[in-house]
Amino acid sequence: MATVALSGIITPSNIVTATSTTTLTNKTLSAADLTTALTLAGAAGTNGQVLTSAGSGLPSWTTLASGLAAASLAEMEAATSNTVAATPLNTNSHPGVAKVWIKCDAAGGILGSHNVTSITDVGAGKVTVTIATDFSSTNYVIVGTSVDGADSCNISIEGAANLPTAGSFTALNIRPSGALQDPSAYMLACFGDQ
């Protein structure tokens, strides 16, 4: 009688069952085969870990690094870190962000604003802006323009006896002739440390 070599025969040593522990070599498993949890021999992971691989050999369990932490007030003001996150609350502390802005009409009506308590019409071509959260000093920058159909007016900040304070300033709308004139709207923004 002749002996016939058979390949691909299923024997008890190459059957994988849900209750057995079997070493798999050169086997391809489909999603249907993975009906129970797989563990690496001698290397069980813990909650929060993921399997990672260097490209060869068995993968290993690795703890994921946590996400970026929110930047502190000092980190936002320094504006130099690239390892922390700006959040909606702390973004206002960045030196490049307007701490105050307003669009208002000449009568003191606020059309849109941020960090403004009130606006006061103090005369022709003059409004005083009261800031909600004061600046840390008077060393802040005020920029502005106006909407004025009659002339190309300039915005100036009142000085002399009425210098800006940490919590308010007065803006002037000045015609080319030097006269003050009410514009259709003032548009003002302030930058600095609070």
Report d(CA 186, CA 110) in Å as an integer: 10
- Residue 100 has a CB neighbour count (10 Å cut-off) of 24
Residue type, 192: G
Q: What is the pTM of this model?
A: 0.63
- Return the domain boundaries, the chain: 58-95, 100-191
Q: What tens digit of pLDDT does each residue of 128-184 get? A: 999 999 999 999 999 999 987 667 788 888 876 778 999 999 999 998 888 999 999
3-state helix, strand, coil in the chain (%, to 5): 10, 30, 60
Query: Model confidence over 38-72: pLDDT tens digits?
Result: 555 456 677 777 777 767 767 777 877 777 888 88
